[in-house]
Structure 1
Amino acid sequence: MVLIFLFSGIQAYAVDPEVPDSEEAISAGQSIFNANCKTCHRLDQKLIGPALRGVTDRRELAWIKQFITNSQVLVQGGDADAVALFKEFNNTVMPAHDFLSDGDLTNLLSYIEFGDKVDPAAAAAAAGAEGGEAASSGGGIPNEYLTIILVVLVIVLVLVLVVLGLIVSVLTKYMNKNDDLDEDDKAFINQKTDYKGIFKSDGMIIIVTAIVLAFVVKTAINGLYTVGVQQGYAPSQPIAYSHELHAGQYEIPCQYCHTGVEIGKSANIPSANICMNCHMHIQNVEGKDGISPEIAKIYDAVDNNKPIEWVRVHNLPDLAYFNHSQHVVVGGVECQTCHGPVEEMEVVSQYSALTMGWCIDCHRNTEIDTQGNEYYDKLVQLHSESSNDALKVKDIGGLECAKCHY
C-alpha cells in the first residue's frame, strides 16, 4: 500500500513525550513503515510525499493518528491543515489505514522520529562501494584459463627457439677456433641456415598444425561454454521502465512488484494493476504537465484489459529447478547477489552467468546461518564430528543432482 501523508514543516523539533523511543517500538514501527509508507515517503527528505521526521512537533498526536487512519475524513470535513496538505501534493489521495491499531500508530511514529538517523551522503557512498565490490566479484569462465595456457605455451616455444639459436651461435664460434678441423668440417659448421627448408620440414609442419588445432579447439570450447548463457542480455521492453529510478531513487523494494519472490518458485513479472497502485496518482515526472507517454501505456493496458508484454530477462533451461522463496526466505539471499546492482540499472540486464557451475560454486562457498534455528541443530552436530569447517549448502545436499534436476 502507498502511504501519502503528511506534514511539511521545520526540521528543529521536540518529539511528543507520548512517542516512545525504545528499540522495540522503533523496530515494530520500521516494519509498519516499510510495509505501508516506504513507497512514497522518506524520513528526512521529500519524495512523492513530504519528509516525515518531526511531525509530532508540527501536529497534534490525535490529529496525526486520525490523518493516517483516514485522511479523507479530515479533508472532506474541511480541516484546514489536511486540505492544505491535500492541495500541496496534487490532490493525491492517501489510502486509509484503519487496520492499524493505536499501538501500531504509536510504534510507527516512534520509528518516524527516532529511526534510521544516518548521514545520507555516507549511506550513498557505502551503497556505491558495495555495488562496485559485487560487480568485481563475478566468476570467470574456464575458457579464459585455456587462453592463458595457450599464450604461455607459445611464449615458451619462442623462448626455446631463441635459446637454441644462441646455443648454435656460441658453438659455431667455438668450433671455428679449432685449427684441427679440415675444410669439409668448417664448411659444415659455417653453412647458412636454410629457412625455407625449415618451414617445409616435417617438424615445423607438425608444430604449426598443432598450434592451429589448439586454437580451433579453444574456439570450439568457448562456443560450447556460451551455449544457453545470456550474461549481459538486456532486451528492449514495451515500456521504458527504469529500475534506477524506482528501485534506486525511490527505494521501492523488489518484493513490492515481484510479489511471488517470497512465496513461490517464480518471482513473477508485475501486472499493470501493480503499476497503477502508484501511477493512478503519479502521471508524469515532477514539474511537467499532462500524462507521460510511457505511463500512458500502462493506462492503455488497463483500459483495454490487455497485459503488458514484458520481455523476460533471466531464463533458466526447463531441465533446471530453481525456487525463489527457498533462496530469499530460507537462505536469506539478497536480490543483488544473483541479479547484481539492479537499483543502478536504467535498463536491466542479466548480471550473472546463471550456469550450473556458477550455482555449484555458490553452494560450495555459502555458509548456512544456523543460529536460533532448531532445524539445523542435529545437522550441525553431525557435521562438527567430521569437519572443523562451517556448515555450508554443499553439506546438506546442495550438490546432489536431484535437488535441481528431477
Structure 2
Amino acid sequence: MSIKRSLKGVSIRLHHLLVLFFLFLGAQGFAADPEVPDSEDAISAGESIFNANCKTCHRLDQKLIGPALRGVTDRRELDWAKKFILNSQAVIQSGDATAVALFKEYNNTVMPAMDFLSDGDLMNLLAYIEYGGQAEAEAAAAEGGAAAGESGGSGGGIPSEYLTIILVVLVVVLILVLVVLGLIVSVLTKYMNNSDKLDAEDKEFINQKTDYLGILKSDGFILIVTTIVLAFVVKTAIDGLYTVGIQQGYAPAQPIAYSHELHAGEYEIQCQYCHTGVEIGKSANIPSANICMNCHMHIQNVGGKEGISPEIAKIYDAVDNNQPIEWVRVHNLPDLAYFNHSQHVAVGGVECQTCHGPIEEMEVVYQHSALTMGWCIDCHRNTEITTQGNEYYDKLVQLHSESKDALKVKDIGGLECAKCHY
C-alpha cells in the first residue's frame, strides 16, 4: 500500500514538473522577440499615433530633423526601440552607446518623451513604421523615375526654352515676309509707272497716297475712339465698385517671418496642430507662442537662446516677456456675415485649401479666394454633401431620395439669407 502511494506521489510530481516545464517554454516563446504586427488595423492605428506625435520631425524613408524610421526593428532590438520611444533621454543618460551616438549625430536634438503610450500603442506605431506608407513610397519612387526619364530621354516634350526660341523665329519670319511684300509692291509700282500702256488716270490711281490725317480728323473715327474710351472708363469704374472691401491677394508683413511653405509643406505639420479651434469653434484662432515653443524648445535649442535664428528669438522674447505676438489678420469677413469653421471642417469635411488655396506652398500667406457673397453662394450651389457615415444627414437623405441630383449644400438651406445674416 505504501509503495502504491509513493509511486502515485512520484507520478503527480512528474506531472507537475512537466506542466511547469511546458509553461516555462511557452512563456519563453511568448516573451522572446514578439513580431511587429502587420494587420491593417494595427498599421492604421499606428499611423494616427505617428501623425500626432512623430511626423513633425520624422519620415519613414528619408531623413528630416530626425533619422528615417523604416527598418528600425532590423537595426535595433525591439525592447531598445520601445524604451527609446518612451523616453529617449533616459536611455541616453544611462550611457547606452548607440543612443549617445544617435543623439550626437543629430546635433543633440531632444526628442520629447512619450511615456503616455501603452505597449499596444508602441507595437501599432512600429507596425506603421515598418509596413505603413509603402504605396506612397513606391508611387514617389515611380514618379521620380518617370520625371528623370522625361528630363533625360529624347522622347519627352519640348522644353519651354525651345518654345520661346521657336516663337521668336516665327516673329522674325513674319517681319521678313512683310518686308519682302513691301519691296514687291515698291518694285511693281515703279515698273507700272515706267510702262507706256497706262494712261494718266491709271498712274494717278497707282501713285495715290493714303490721307492718314484726314482719317484721324473724320467724324466716324472720332466717334469710334470716344465710344471705346467711355466704355473703358465705365467698365473700370464698375470693376472698382465691385472690388470695394475685397482683399484678394492681400499679403501683409507679419511680426515674425513664419513660412507655411516650410512648416505645412516640407514638414507637413497639420493645420489643426497650430489652429486648434478650427474643428471645435467658429474661429480657427491664431496660435499662441507656447504652441510654437512645443517644437522649437527641442528643435532649435542648441546653445540656448544665442544659438537660434533672429526670427525664432522673437518667439523666445514673447514668452520671456509674457507678451502675445501681434500677428496681422489676413482673412477678414464683414461683421454682417457669419462663418463657422467647425461646421465646414468637422461636419462638412471641407479641406483648408478649398478656401485658403495652396497654403502649403506659401512662403508669405496671402488671401487666395475672393471671399465674396457670390463666391460663397457658388460653392454652396456646387458642393455635394458628404452623407456617408454621418447620421446628421440621415433624414435629409431620405427626403431627398426621390431627386435624381446629388444632395448639395443648397438643398439643406445653404442659400437661405438667415444662414449667414441674422
Interval of TM-score (by shorter of Structure 1 and Structure 2): 0.7 to 0.9
Shift of 1:293: 1.3
CA distance in 2, matches of 1:383, 1:197: 70
Q: 2:61·2:137 contact (CA, 8 Å) conserved in 1? A: no
Cα deviation code 1:233-282 (max 9, x no counterpart): 11111111111111111111111111111111111111111111111123
Shift of 1:116: 0.6
Coordinate RMSD, CA, aligned: 2.9
Q: 1:284·1:295 contact (CA, 8 Å) conserved in 2? A: no
The aligned residue for residue 355 of structure 1 is 372
1:221 paired with 2:235, answer no
CA distance in 2, matches of 1:314, 1:124: 38
Shift of 1:123: 4.3
Q: 1:260·1:266 contact (CA, 8 Å) conserved in 2? A: yes
CA distance in 2, matches of 1:282, 1:69: 18
Secondary structure at 2:365 match in 1: coil
The aligned residue for residue 66 of structure 2 is 49
The answer for unaligned runs of 5 or more in structure 2 is 1-32, 145-211
Q: 2:111·2:298 contact (CA, 8 Å) conserved in 1? A: no
Cα deviation code 1:107-126 (max 9, x no counterpart): 00000000112465954998
Shift of 1:377: 2.3
The aligned residue for residue 109 of structure 2 is 92
CA distance in 1, matches of 2:116, 2:100: 23
The one-letter amino acid of 2:285's match is: N
Q: Of residues 325, 329, 342 in structure 2, which corresponds to 1:312?
A: 329
Shift of 1:93: 2.2
1:403 paired with 2:419, answer yes
Q: 1:28·1:108 contact (CA, 8 Å) conserved in 2? A: yes
Shift of 1:201: 11
The one-letter amino acid of 2:261's match is: E
Secondary structure at 2:134 match in 1: coil
Q: Of residues 340, 343, 360 in structure 1, which corresponds to 2:360?
A: 343
Q: 1:96 to 1:59 in 2, by over 3 A?
A: same
The one-letter amino acid of 1:398's match is: G
Cα deviation code 1:343-388 (max 9, x no counterpart): 1111111111111111110100000111122332221121232x21
Secondary structure at 2:262 match in 1: helix
Q: 1:247·1:253 contact (CA, 8 Å) conserved in 2? A: yes
Shift of 1:210: 6.0
The one-letter amino acid of 2:62's match is: Q
Q: 1:197 to 1:55 in 2, by over 3 A?
A: closer
The aligned residue for residue 408 of structure 2 is 392
CA distance in 2, matches of 1:76, 1:366: 55
1:296 paired with 2:307, answer no
CA distance in 1, matches of 2:344, 2:140: 26
CA distance in 2, matches of 1:330, 1:281: 35
Q: 1:44·1:51 contact (CA, 8 Å) conserved in 2? A: yes
Secondary structure at 1:232 match in 2: coil
The one-letter amino acid of 2:257's match is: A
CA distance in 2, matches of 1:202, 1:296: 70
Q: Which aligned pairs between 1:3-42 and structure 2 lie closer than 5 A?
A: 18-42=35-59
Q: 2:110·2:299 contact (CA, 8 Å) conserved in 1? A: no
CA distance in 2, matches of 1:260, 1:113: 33
CA distance in 2, matches of 1:330, 1:94: 35
1:112 paired with 2:113, answer no
Q: 1:271·1:308 contact (CA, 8 Å) conserved in 2? A: yes
Q: 1:20·1:110 contact (CA, 8 Å) conserved in 2? A: yes
Question: Higher helix share goes to which structure?
Answer: 2
The answer for unaligned runs of 5 or more in structure 1 is 1-15, 128-194
Q: Which aligned pairs between 1:155-170 and structure 2 lie closer than 5 A?
A: none
Q: TM-score, normalised by structure 2?
A: 0.70
The one-letter amino acid of 1:401's match is: C
The aligned residue for residue 296 of structure 2 is 279
Q: 1:31 to 1:274 in 2, by over 3 A?
A: same
Secondary structure at 2:360 match in 1: helix
CA distance in 2, matches of 1:126, 1:295: 35
The aligned residue for residue 119 of structure 2 is 102
Shift of 1:83: 1.9
From the CA coordinates, give the structure whose radius of gyration is larger. Answer: 2
Shift of 1:17: 6.0
CA distance in 2, matches of 1:214, 1:368: 43
Shift of 1:88: 2.0
Q: 1:244·1:344 contact (CA, 8 Å) conserved in 2? A: yes
1:69 paired with 2:86, answer yes
Q: 1:284·1:292 contact (CA, 8 Å) conserved in 2? A: no
Secondary structure at 2:376 match in 1: helix
Q: 2:58·2:67 contact (CA, 8 Å) conserved in 1? A: yes
CA distance in 1, matches of 2:373, 2:357: 18
Shift of 1:297: 1.3
CA distance in 2, matches of 1:254, 1:119: 21
Q: Of residues 268, 276, 281 in structure 2, which corresponds to 1:259?
A: 276
Q: 2:278·2:285 contact (CA, 8 Å) conserved in 1? A: yes
CA distance in 2, matches of 1:261, 1:125: 35
CA distance in 2, matches of 1:204, 1:26: 76
Secondary structure at 1:316 match in 2: coil
